[in-house]
Amino acid sequence: MFTRRNALALGLAVPGLAGLAACGPNASGGSGGGGGEGSAATLRLAWWGNPTRDENTQNVVEAYKEVDDAVTINPEPGEWSGYWDKLATQTAGGDFPDIVQMDEKYLAEYGGRGALLDLAGAGLNTEDFVPGSVEVGELPDVGLAAINAGLNSFAFLLNPVVFEEAGVDIPDDTTWTWDDLIDTAVAISENTEDGTFGMTQMGTQQGLFQVYVRQAGQDQYKDGAAGFDIETATGWYEWTKKIQDSGAGPDASIAVEDAAKAIDQSLFATGKAAITVAWSNQVVAHDGLVPEGVVVLRPPSMTGSAADAQLWYKASMYWAVSAKTADPEAAVAFVDYLVNSPDAGAILSVERGVPGNLTVREAIVPDLDEANKKAVDFLESIESELGDAPEITPQGGGQFEDILTRAGEEMLFGTLTPAEAGQRVLDDLTAALG
């Protein structure tokens, strides 16, 4: 089931990833005939997704036949929950697909073990990509390990109907602070019926945690280790506790239950919470669940200035090519089509995120519906305010979402103090990275 938590999560831990070491010089990767342009090739394409993504991807595979009918592409769709286990098993067995949809969380895991091809070295054209969006796929010892399939950033979503019912004005997202967010949510909770809250519990959301620590002058990772200190982590959990204690958001039991619900049954979707958080490529899914559509805002800042919000362009997901593919030329050519062709862009739309290729983006925006345009407009509105791109998640960092959630939930239930939760999350992340 696609829940609010796993929609926000960047992923789950990857059991058995040590098996990637098996992807050595003699490992075979994918299938193909080799031989260059015009020759027959068979490629395996793996991705995780949902019915809409599955349909779009199947359609773009069909469309590619008009580009190169000598290439056969065998689709391997999957669901997030089992995708990484399967990919790790395939890699350990020397059966890595030729082209894979990759997440930032695991990019260093696979790239660091020699599983991914340097796309720049293989000739992928990235000239039309927005500045700063190509680098988010680079690894020091690999090169361009993956190219973004779409861009997003962390956003706040508001239900304007609940705001109106509470008689509360929608905040100015260029000036609001973390305290302003709490105050706004408290006012909504107090002016609506019992069981309706100003905001969801956001203290276990990794994306928002990273926004918070970046605004504190730190980051999630630095030089392959935790990039934040105990004081900042404690401050985060103090803010998390304030959501609960002030009545701005639900108590621990309701919050945990909400995170486990399907998105369409969540507090936000059912009009029981006025404010929630999401990555911008999830705007469309939420917009369709709110009668008057969502309002998309920047996260708050510590200084009250959007210029200090420290947002960044995140690859919503990537395309990567196996370093052991039998036909790298054919595989890279297909990836080139996926990210550089306006025809492919028209089929894929912005479901995987807003295209990083500006030519593709310009070509498809006029035909987007209102919900999809909200995602594009948000990304373009923050472009001049972006901070530096964060360090790629190091090996072992894929466990951080679970680490943050466990410590946060124990703190909300009163088992840990904010300071103890901050120490726990730092210790557990350090152990995972070690």
Range 299-321 average pLDDT: 96
Tell me which of 384, 407, 424 is where a domain ends.
384
Instruction: State the pLDDT at residue 21.
Output: 40
Instruction: State the pLDDT at residue 281.
Output: 84
| pLDDT at residue 17 is higher than 90 | no
Instruction: State the pLDDT at residue 40.
Output: 85
Q: What is the mean pLDDT of the chain?
A: 91
Percent of the chain with pLDDT over 70: 91
| pLDDT at residue 64 is higher than 50 | yes
| pLDDT at residue 293 is higher than 60 | yes
- 280 with 418, same domain: the answer is yes
**Alpha helices per DSSP H over 313-416:** 328-340, 342-348, 358-364, 370-381, 400-412
Instruction: State the pLDDT at residue 81.
Output: 84
Tell me which of 353, 368, 384 is where a domain ends.
384
Q: Binning pLDDT at 50, 70 and 90, where does residue 342 land?
A: very high
Q: Distance of CA 28 to CAs 2, 32, 91, 96, 98, Å?
A: 34, 11, 9, 8, 10
Looking at the structure of the chain, the number of domains it has is 2
- 271 with 140, same domain: the answer is no
Instruction: State the pLDDT at residue 285.
Output: 86
- 307 with 407, same domain: the answer is yes
Q: Binning pLDDT at 50, 70 and 90, where does residue 348 land?
A: very high
Q: Binning pLDDT at 50, 70 and 90, where does residue 8 land?
A: low
* pLDDT, tens only, 320-330: 999 999 999 99
Identify the domain containing residue 323 by its residue range: 4-149+316-384
Range 255-272 average pLDDT: 94
- 297 with 200, same domain: the answer is yes
Burial class (CB in 10 A: 0-12, 13-18, 19+), 270: middle
DSSP state of 170: P
Q: Binning pLDDT at 50, 70 and 90, where does residue 29 land?
A: very low
- 211 with 289, same domain: the answer is yes
Q: Binning pLDDT at 50, 70 and 90, where does residue 34 land?
A: very low
Instruction: State the pLDDT at residue 114.
Output: 93
| pLDDT at residue 122 is higher than 60 | yes
| pLDDT at residue 20 is higher than 70 | no
Q: Binning pLDDT at 50, 70 and 90, where does residue 35 land?
A: very low
- 231 with 159, same domain: the answer is yes
List Cβ neighbours of 58 (8 Å cut-off, separation of 6 or more): 75
CATH of the domain at 101: 3.40.190.10
Range 131-148 average pLDDT: 93
- 20 with 166, same domain: the answer is no
- 38 with 184, same domain: the answer is no
Q: Distance of CA 37 to CAs 126, 172, 195, 285, 328, Å?
A: 20, 54, 62, 39, 11
- 288 with 399, same domain: the answer is yes
Instruction: State the pLDDT at residue 410.
Output: 98
